[in-house]
């Protein structure tokens, strides 16, 4: 065993200054919205809670084993955050013989101290003298649950303890993405079921498990860990990079190894909030202490009841109430689109009896909670899809692994299905009705990530055009390429889960020939009875369908992006459907067919079902609705990932009924009209009730392409409630320079009509890609730059918002598109800005000009309850202010 | 008659010019402007055909 105590003293000395600046005194914490800060710990334990595993003997008689699993990653290599936290522990000089502290370090390219070896996994013991190296391990991914399990066993084997504590240090991605990112093994993280599995297999019951990581205070995390731990200490929101402050609570433990867990938790939380306030004052920070015994014994049962009630609410066609509650609930890291909302806030906004009961149970289980710069954060979040559906299937799988109640799982699945149905219909109903829209575009767009945009924009901007010309031209080239990898990935992610891929005769990246129910992805599915093929061929099948390929010689073959020849009831999307009896063709030619698809569809209940079938279907099976109508062609059971086809069928029927009850916005043309001398966009109240956001979207055309200045929720309405489409030419500026700006969140936290709006400005900060986070606060009247959030080359957002310092160089960025609307690159915008000495970056709207040989265009983006987006016709700014297609705009072509 | 929230704008005097600078390689794009642009281009194309 190599002793490193002397060397660590030098580390301590070198970093003492840093630690000294964080010597913590509890500070007043301000919160907006509903103040969820606890003034004191709630020591009571509700009846029905599971008994604690850990029995504290008291009077300092307890032995403690504290395990710190520290994946350093870029937090250390970039900023030395792990070294800083280790120094905070060393600063406490814990020399209580009953307190044993073990650390595993690794997952980092470069440790910013002279003790810990980069690129290796090492195990240490921290004593009052310093950090002692115990062993160096072979390289492996620290995000592997086996590695965590081995570390826990290692600590356990050091000797039995009365209290075991585990802290998982690194990035966190919540219930969806899990814990940990290893810089040396960058593929993947440890999902919460894997964390739970490691704990289970260790056989250790923990006093508490803490996540010094972002976004891990979720109900799902609590449920996963409750069988193995008494308390969870974690954050609902992203944590600033500095993370927890360790010195004070370590001292408490040093003073008495029997210090109550609630007292330790309170100190951890108070110090974290205070430190974050100093180091990252613009960040929204949260940390909570949850009694997992109560969560396991009570909250889980109430969740089941809530899930049932929610499903019933959805089945009673009350999607809108749920969607509005979801949209207005406190969301965490909204720009990451993880779809985690505060559970209590969501329950209370829904207002149902079961919701209130669950909220009460959660509030009881959360024993201490602090929140800074953020309201309506009660201590535990939950995944509930809204902005993105791409994680629904992976979450359902995690639900199964951690044993979450099935009624909750079904309610999430039902909501996602209805939301997606709305998105689908957003594109489709226009095909039925007004003459705009695209099913596949909507599917691809609505499932995409990105910044809240989707290709359902096409409907509004291609209104009035003939199907043949608009969709025919859309189908040229490589359609799927144009949607970007994320879109296709999301689509596949959603649909693979929906279909389920455990059926016999399925093949990924290969061939599935001669099977009865064969399906093939990226390959061929020949000679099958109900074969389907993605990106390949499905020949000679009875009910074969092919995506992005050919489906020849089939009885009921359908083809997406390809040809469907010689079929009896063949349909083709983006391609040809020749020689079929009832062939239909979307976006292409339907030669010799008896019917053209869009002509034969009307906006009726059965046809809406048909539409949903046509999107999800291609398999086998049928569904009989409550009115006795049988709809064929869809394997509903596999569609919804289960075997309950009647339930799934009911959901589709429900979706159809719901959409017909409240037609989506795409069913009407978005036309600009003249009204009392103003250009306005007029919609019915029913339509407006479905619209959650309206954003002005401005572009600058420089002769070669378009600069995108982004989206700002600036809109005016006339007395009739029509959107006035008449931009005054002003746009947001920073230090007098126009910026590109994009929305993050827009919240009326107190329900008092005063909003707090957060947006980001893309920029380079001292050469590093960041998003400047800005806030418009109607409560305080202050508009300000909160800080800079790092953005990695892969788009991962950094922890918290880093403050800037005088002299820092800010270079504004904007996206640039070619004349055909293809993204080209980012360009700098204006002149570099030096962060001023007074720390005040000035935000204001000013009139903007495009300069010589440039013109400006604008439109409005409307986002509805289904998270589908629509754009009004584009308008040239300035003279005439006519929609772009009605002007002399040869430059664009 | 509820409408989506519109933030309160603080407008100041003066004109700020939008000036495109240098191309920046390897950065992460901020938005997704294809949708409205392509929609507008498609609309124009359709109108031209009409």
Please indicate, yes or no, whether residues A618 and A469 belong to a single structural domain of this protein. Answer: yes
| Claim to verify: residue A471 and residue A560 sit in the same structural domain | yes
pLDDT attached to residue A867: 83
Instruction: Tell me the shortest Cα–Cα distance from B19 to chain A, in angstroms.
Output: 5
Quote the number of domains for chain A.
3
pLDDT computed for residue A662 by the predictor: 64
Question: Mean pLDDT throughout A831-839?
Answer: 95
Band of residue A179 on the pLDDT scale cut at 50, 70, 90: very high
Whether residue A682 sits in one domain with residue A657: no
β-strands A823-834, B20-24 pairing: antiparallel
Q: Is residue A45 part of a domain?
A: no
- Predicted pLDDT of residue A661: 66
Q: Tell me how many degrees the CA angle A34-A37-A38 measures, rounded to the nearest 5.
A: 130
Q: A689 and A631, same structural domain?
A: no
B24: burial class by Cβ within 10 Å (0-12, 13-18, 19+)? middle
Q: Please tell me the distance from the alpha carbon of residue A320 to that of residue A686, in angstroms, as a whole number.
A: 11
pLDDT tens profile A525-561: 333 334 343 333 443 433 434 333 344 343 343 433 3
Does the residue A152 lie in any domain? Answer: yes
Total number of residues shown for chain B: 50
Contact B20 A829 (CB under 8 A): yes
Residue A39 lies in a domain: no
Is A647 in the same domain as A704? no
Last residue of a domain, one of A630, A661, A692: A661
Selecting from A455, A457, A827 the residue whose C-beta is nearest the C-beta of B21 gives A827
**How far apart are the C-alpha atoms of A804 and A814, rounded to whole Å?**
21
Q: Cβ of A853: how many Cβ atoms within 10 Å?
A: 10
**For A461, nearest residue in chain B (alpha carbons):** B39
End of a domain among A661, A693, A725? A661
Asked if A752 and A630 sit in the same domain, the reply is: no
Cβ(A511)–Cβ(A523) below 8 Å: yes
Q: Does the residue A669 lie in any domain?
A: no
10 Å CB burial of residue A183 (0-12, 13-18, 19+) is buried
* % of chain A with per-residue pLDDT over 90: 54
Query: Domain check: are A653 and A690 in the same one?
Result: no
Question: Are residues A500 and A573 both part of a single domain?
Answer: yes
A166-170, A512-516, A855-859, range with the lowest pLDDT? A512-516
| CATH number for the domain harbouring residue A81 | 3.40.50.11970
In a domain, A337, yes or no: no
User: Which among A822, A867, A875, A742 is positioned nearest to A456, based on CA atoms?
Assistant: A867
User: E strands along A685-835, which residues?
Assistant: 691-701, 705-712, 723-724, 730-734, 737-738, 742-747, 756-765, 768-777, 783-790, 809-818, 823-834
Q: What are the respective helix, strand and coil percentages of chain A, to the nearest 5?
A: 30, 25, 45
* The two three-digit tokens of residue A430, written as one number: 């226009």
CA A687 to CA A683: how far, in whole Å? 6
Say if A404 falls within a structural domain: no
Mean residue pLDDT across chain A: 75
Q: Are both A567 and A421 inside the same structural domain?
A: yes
Please indicate if any CB of chain B lies within 8 Å of the CB of A721: yes
Residues A607 and A574 grouped into a single domain: yes
Average of pLDDT values for A453-470? Answer: 26
Last residue of a domain, one of A604, A633, A661: A661
Residue A684 in any domain: the answer is yes
Nearest CA in chain B to A453: B32
Measured CA angle at A383 (ends A382, A388), to 5 deg: 150
A792 vs B contacts (CB less than 8 Å):
28
Q: Pairing relation of β-strands A672-675 and A630-632?
A: unpaired
The CB density around residue A501, as the number of other CB atoms within 10 Å, is 14
Judge whether residue A756 has pLDDT over 70.
yes
Query: pLDDT band for position A336 (50/70/90)?
Result: confident
Q: Does A451 touch chain B (CB under 8 A)?
A: yes
- Asked whether residue A245 is assigned to any structural domain, the reply reads yes
* Complex confidence, ipTM: 0.96
Nearest-neighbour CA in chain A from B16: distance (Å): 5
Confidence of residue A358 (pLDDT cuts 50, 70, 90): very high
In Å, how far is B31's CA from the nearest CA of chain A? Answer: 5
pLDDT confidence of residue A796:
65
Q: Is residue A703 located within the same domain as residue A635?
A: no
Same domain membership, residue A622 and residue A740: no
* Chain B contact for A580 (CB, 8 A cutoff): no
Domain with A612, as residue range(s), is: 412-661
* A521 pLDDT more than 80: no
């Amino acid at each position: 065993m190599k002793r490193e105590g002397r060397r660590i003293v030098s580390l301590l000395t070198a970093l003492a200054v840093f630690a000294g600046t964080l010597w913590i005194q509890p500070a007043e914490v301000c919160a907006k919205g509903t103040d969820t800060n606890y003034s004191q710990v709630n020591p009571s334990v509700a009846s029905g809670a599971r008994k604690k595993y850990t029995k504290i003997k008291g009077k300092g008689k307890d032995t403690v084993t504290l395990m710190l699993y520290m994946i350093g990653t870029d937090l250390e290599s970039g900023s030395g955050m792990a070294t800083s936290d280790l120094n905070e522990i060393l600063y406490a000089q814990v020399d209580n013989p009953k307190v044993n502290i073990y650390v595993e370090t690794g997952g980092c390219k470069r440790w910013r101290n002279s003790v810990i070896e980069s690129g290796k996994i090492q195990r240490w013991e921290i004593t009052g003298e310093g950090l002692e190296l115990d062993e160096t391990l072979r390289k492996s991914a620290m995000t592997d649950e086996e590695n965590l399990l081995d570390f826990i066993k290692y600590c356990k084997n050091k000797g039995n303890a009365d209290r075991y504590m585990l802290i998982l240090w690194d990035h966190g991605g919540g219930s969806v993405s899990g814990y940990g990112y290893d810089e040396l093994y960058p593929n993947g993280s440890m999902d919460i079921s894997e964390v739970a599995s490691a704990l289970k297999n260790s056989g250790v019951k923990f006093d508490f498990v803490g996540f010094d990581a972002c976004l891990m205070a979720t109900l799902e995390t609590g449920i996963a860990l409750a069988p193995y731990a008494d308390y969870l200490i974690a954050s609902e929101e992203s944590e600033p990079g500095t993370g927890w402050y360790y010195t004070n609570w370590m001292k408490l433990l040093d003073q008495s190894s029997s210090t109550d867990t609630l007292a330790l938790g309170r100190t951890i939380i108070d110090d974290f909030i205070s430190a974050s306030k100093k180091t990252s004052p613009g960040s929204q920070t949260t940390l909570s202490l949850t009694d997992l015994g109560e969560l396991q014994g009570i909250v889980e049962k109430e969740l089941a009841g809530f899930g049932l009630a929610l499903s019933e609410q959805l089945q009673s066609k009350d999607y809108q109430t749920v969607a509005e509650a979801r949209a207005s609930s406190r969301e965490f890291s909204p720009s990451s689109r993880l779809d985690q909302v505060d559970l209590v806030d969501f329950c209370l906004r829904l207002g149902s009896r079961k919701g209130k009961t669950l909220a009460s149970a959660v509030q009881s289980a959360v024993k201490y909670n602090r929140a800074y710069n953020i309201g309506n954060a009660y201590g535990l979040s939950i995944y509930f899809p809204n902005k993105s559906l791409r994680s629904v299937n992976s979450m359902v799988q995690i639900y199964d692994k951690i044993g979450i109640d099935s009624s909750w799982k079904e309610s999430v699945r039902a909501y996602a299905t209805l939301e997606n149905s709305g998105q689908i219909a957003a594109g489709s109903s226009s095909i039925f009705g007004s003459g705009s829209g695209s099913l596949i575009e909507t599917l691809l767009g609505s499932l995409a990530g990105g910044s809240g945009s989707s290709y359902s924009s096409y409907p509004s901007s291609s209104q009035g055009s003939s199907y043949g010309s608009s969709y025919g031209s859309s189908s040229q080239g490589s359609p799927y390429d144009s949607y970007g990898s994320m879109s296709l990935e999301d689509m596949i992610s959603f649909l693979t889960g929906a279909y389920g891929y455990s059926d016999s005769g399925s093949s990924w990246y290969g061939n599935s020939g001669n099977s009865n129910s064969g399906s093939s992805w990226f390959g061929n599915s020949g000679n099958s009875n109900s074969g389907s093929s993605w990106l390949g061929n499905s020949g000679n099948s009875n009910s074969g369908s092919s995506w992005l390929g050919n489906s020849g010689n089939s009885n009921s073959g359908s083809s997406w992006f390809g040809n469907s020849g010689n079929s009896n009831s063949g349909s083709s999307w983006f391609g040809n459907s020749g020689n079929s009896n009832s062939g239909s063709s979307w976006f292409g030619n339907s030669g010799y067919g008896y019917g053209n698809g869009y002509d034969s569809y009307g906006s009726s209940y059965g046809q809406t079902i048909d539409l949903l079938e046509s999107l999800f279907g291609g398999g086998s099976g049928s569904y009989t609705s409550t009115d006795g109508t049988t709809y064929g062609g869809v394997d509903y059971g596999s569609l919804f990932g289960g075997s309950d086809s009647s339930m799934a069928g009911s959901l589709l029927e429900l979706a159809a009924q719901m959409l017909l009850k409240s037609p989506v916005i795409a069913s009407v043309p978005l036309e600009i009209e003249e009204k009392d001398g103003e250009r306005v966009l007029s919609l019915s109240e029913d339509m407006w009730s479905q619209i959650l956001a309206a954003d002005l979207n401005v572009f600058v055309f420089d002769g070669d392409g378009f600069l995108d200045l982004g989206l700002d929720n600036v809109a005016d309405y006339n007395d009739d409630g029509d959107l006035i489409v008449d931009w005054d030419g002003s746009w947001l500026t920073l230090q007098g320079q126009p910026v590109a700006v994009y929305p993050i969140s827009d919240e009326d936290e107190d329900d008092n009509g005063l909003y707090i709006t957060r947006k980001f400005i893309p920029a380079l900060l001292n050469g590093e890609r960041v998003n400047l986070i800005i806030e418009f606060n109607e409560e305080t009247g202050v508009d300000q730059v909160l800080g800079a959030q790092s953005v990695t080359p892969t788009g991962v957002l950094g922890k918290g918002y880093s403050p800037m310092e005088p002299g820092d160089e800010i270079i504004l960025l904007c996206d640039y598109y070619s004349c055909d609307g293809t993204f080209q690159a980012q360009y700098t915008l204006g002149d570099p800005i030096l962060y001023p000495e007074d720390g005040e970056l000035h935000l204001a709207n000013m009139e903007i000009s495009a300069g010589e040989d440039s013109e400006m265009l604008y439109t409005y983006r409307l986002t509805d309850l289904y998270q589908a987006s629509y754009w009004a016709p584009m308008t040239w700014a300035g003279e005439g202010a006519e929609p772009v297609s009605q002007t002399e705009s040869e430059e664009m072509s | 008659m509820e409408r989506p929230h519109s933030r309160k704008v603080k407008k100041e005097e003066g004109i700020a010019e939008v000036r495109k600078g240098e191309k920046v390689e390897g950065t992460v794009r901020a938005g997704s402007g294809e949708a409205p642009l392509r929609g507008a281009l498609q609309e124009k194309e359709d109108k031209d055909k009409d």
